[in-house]
Amino acid sequence: MQISKGRANLMLLMAAMIWGAGYIFTKLATNANMQAGLINAIRGFIYAGLAFLFFHKAILKMNRTDLQLGLVAGVINFLGYQFQTWGLRFTTPSNNAFLTAIYVVIIPIIIWFMYKRRLERKSYFAIIIAIIGMGFLTNVLHNGFTLHLGDLLTLISAFFYALQIVYFGMRATNTSPFVLSFMMGMTQGGFGLIWSLLFEHASYGAINWQAGLWPVIVLGIVSSFGAQTLQIVGQRFTDPTPAGLILMTESMFGSIFSVVLGFEPFTVHLLLGGVLIIIAILIMQLDFSRFRTVK
């Protein structure tokens, strides 16, 4: 299967939109007293089950290399989500969202350290504009930034998210995206279940299962199986840095859906932050060499 870079980036944008909407369902699940590990476990096993249902022919041909790549990708993904959710308990939502977006800065550092590849000049401008945009979007620039324990945990999660994007773009192209989807789901579900049984079992009695289970099922079907598969396939045909900038719009779409559904008011900061992030993505997509004067 071969697709154009433009179509691959569109797939990543669709994934970011779905994840943005997923904030609403995650909020519904956590409001029903479901913890991160349990949410991860249910989402992961739904993801793996659907992947096997639709892609079982490719999955049954899995070899040792596929297994290793899938396990590594799954562990990285699980750690990113767990540290982000854990950090949210000890910091503000705006700090959490802002610091998670720092992964767009970490991506080129990882690429340089592991592969000695330098970025194009426009990438630095795009990253700076995107970070400023996230500052407006999360209102950190207006309210100020106070360092909490959760901020350190969130930065750790940002590292794992950056590592995941680089891994998908540079290493995981050697295996079938459908096998990778299945392994991601199994790893997410398995480690989520272990985490939950070890650290969250005391909270099971307080869960409102009727209110919390259906949002997690939606997350498993749409956000995990749908969006994660779009990311895995899309990143095979584009570069990690623009992929990171596109996926960062997840927070922007989350704010948009939150405003549309009445969870938060529309503000100028939200508009300005969204515009700056879109400008950053456009900078990455444009080929500025075409605009140079030919002598």
Whether 191 contacts 36, CB under 8 Å = no
Whether 201 contacts 67, CB under 8 Å = no
**pLDDT, average across residues 26-53:** 89
pTM of the model: 0.80
State how many domains the chain has: 1
Structural domain contains residue 294: no
**pLDDT band (50, 70, 90) for residue 286:** low
Which tokens hold the place of 170? 């540079």
What was the pLDDT predicted at 278?
A: 81
CA-based nearest residue to 82, from 186, 159, 174, 173: 159
Whether 16 contacts 234, CB under 8 Å = no
Structural domain contains residue 84: yes
Residue 189: domain span: 5-289
- CA–CA distance, 166 with 72 (Å, rounded to integer): 12
What was the pLDDT predicted at 91?
A: 67
Which tokens hold the place of 84? 């982000």
Structural domain contains residue 295: no
- Report whether pLDDT(38) > 50: yes
**pLDDT, average across residues 193-212:** 91
What was the pLDDT predicted at 197?
A: 94
What was the pLDDT predicted at 93?
A: 64
- CA–CA distance, 158 with 161 (Å, rounded to integer): 5
CA-based nearest residue to 133, from 274, 282, 283: 274
CA-based nearest residue to 260, from 7, 11, 20, 9: 20
- Report whether pLDDT(288) > 60: no
Mean pLDDT rounded to a whole number for the chain: 82
Give me the residue label for tokens 């990143």: 235
